[in-house]
Every structure is written in C-alpha cells, then in structure tokens.
C-alpha cells in the first residue's frame, strides 16, 4: 500500500515569513495530492490540491509543487499570518479506490 | 448547502460497550469514507462505500468494526466490545465522483470516541 511521510512535524515561523512542508510517497500509481488544514477541534478542510499532470499550482499565498520522478510534493505558504496556524496534512490517492493516505501532519505556528 | 454531518460529536463508552456512529454525507455524493484519527496523527483509512456497496474494508482494524450504508446515503460505523485503543476521532468524508480525476473529499466534524 501507499506510505506517505511528512516533515517537519512542527514548524514555527515569524509572521510574514514563508513556511514549507514536505511530503514523500511510495506508490507510483498515486496521481492526486491534496493538502488539508485542520484547526484544533475542527474538520480537515481542503486548501489546495495537485494532480500528477501538473508540476506546480498556486492559489494566492499558497502553492504546491510535485516531483513525480522523486515522489515528493511540497506546500509553500508565503507571507504567513497568525490565522495560518493549524495542523496541515498532505495526502496521496489513486483515481481508483479513492481512499486518501495521509501524512502524520505538521503543526504550524505563526508568531505575531 | 449543508456539509457532511456526524453524530454524536462526542461519545464516552465503558470498555466492552457497543457504539454506533452516524454519518450524513452531502446529498448526491456517491462515495463515502470512514477514517480513524488518533491524537496527534493523520487520519487513517477504515472503509469505503460507493453508493450502498462497501468496496473496500481493508482498513478496519478488527472484526469488532462494522460499517454499513444500506440505502446509499447515511452510513453507520459500529464498534462492538469497545477497547481503550479504539479511542480516537472517527471522521467521515464524502465525494461526488469515483473512478475519475475529481477526488475531493469533504470531511465531517468527526465523532470523538473515548473508551474508559
């Protein structure tokens, strides 16, 4: 089965700085890579996703990059704000089956 | 529109009790997933339905766990003879399509199960 590893497990940045979270996956058949943000006690919410036919995707301050050859993908948050503080999960999925394999999460703290 | 809802939000059970957790997916969503999220960990896949058919139950940790979706909408996850290691948040997610490239899953708020 798929194995997704995520680093770092905790990350503290000053407000306005950038944050980068990295994930690797093992199953070369995985072709969909979502990122979820989970605030304390809340449900995971999709913030950005990328499909395997794309190398990079941006949405305002958030970007995701994918390297299929190396089987890794990264989340980049620029100009961080205190409200970005949360736990971020990466995941990998195939089209068929559709279940997500999640990383272990990164707790991001943005210091005002 | 309404998102995925789950009930109860919190459940405390004594060891050995049976529990039933309910998920109401977004109307019209074909696929429904159950995940288990232990404290400080990412969600782990339990089982998956496409309409009323349970297509994958490979993630269920033991035969004490059972899930159903008899009419292809509401789903129930049942845990028999609960053990302390079953304590976790149980998340339900639904998605509109299956077998296509559109895989976004919408999560419910979860049920936090505590087994004493």
Q: Which tens digits make up the pLDDT trace of A47-76?
A: 999 988 878 999 999 999 999 999 999 999
Nearest CA to A48 among A63, A38, A66, A70? A63
What is the reported pLDDT for B99? 58
Arithmetic mean of pLDDT, B68-85: 97
In angstroms, the separation between the Cα of residue B55 and the nearest Cα of chain A is: 8
Q: Which residues pair with B34 in a beta bridge?
A: B47, B92
What is the reported pLDDT for A5? 96
Is B41 in the A-facing interface, judged by CB distances under 8 Å? yes
pLDDT digits over B6-43, tens only?
999 999 999 999 999 999 999 989 899 999 999 889 99
Is B107 in the A-facing interface, judged by CB distances under 8 Å? yes
What burial class does residue A28 get, using C-beta atoms within 10 Å of its C-beta: 0-12 exposed, 13-18 middle, 19+ buried?
exposed
pLDDT digits over A34-46, tens only?
999 999 889 999 9
Is B68 in the A-facing interface, judged by CB distances under 8 Å? no
pLDDT digits over B93-105, tens only?
998 875 555 568 8
Backbone angles phi, psi at A78, to 5 degrees: -100, 160
């Amino acid at each position: 089965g798929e194995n997704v590893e995520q680093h770092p497990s905790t990350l503290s940045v000053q407000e306005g700085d950038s944050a980068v979270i990295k994930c690797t996956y093992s199953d070369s058949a995985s072709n969909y890579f979502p990122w979820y943000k989970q605030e304390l006690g809340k449900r995971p919410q999709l913030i950005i996703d990328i499909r395997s036919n794309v190398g990079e995707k941006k949405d305002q301050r958030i970007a995701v990059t994918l390297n299929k050859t190396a089987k890794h993908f990264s989340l980049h948050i620029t100009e961080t704000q205190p409200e970005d503080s949360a736990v971020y999960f990466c995941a990998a999925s195939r089209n068929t089956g559709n279940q997500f394999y999640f990383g272990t999460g990164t707790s991001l703290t943005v210091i005002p | 529109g309404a998102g995925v809802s789950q009930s109860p939000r919190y459940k405390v059970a004594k060891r050995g009790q049976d529990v039933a957790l309910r998920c109401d997916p977004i109307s019209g969503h074909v696929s429904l997933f159950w995940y288990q999220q232990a404290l400080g960990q990412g969600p782990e896949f339990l089982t998956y339905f496409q309409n009323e058919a349970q297509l994958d139950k490979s993630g269920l940790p033991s035969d004490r766990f059972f899930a159903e979706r008899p009419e292809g909408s509401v789903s129930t996850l049942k845990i028999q003879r609960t053990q302390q290691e079953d304590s976790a948040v149980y998340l339900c997610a639904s998605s509109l399509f299956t077998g296509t490239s559109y895989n976004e899953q919408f999560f419910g708020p979860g049920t936090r199960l505590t087994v004493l």
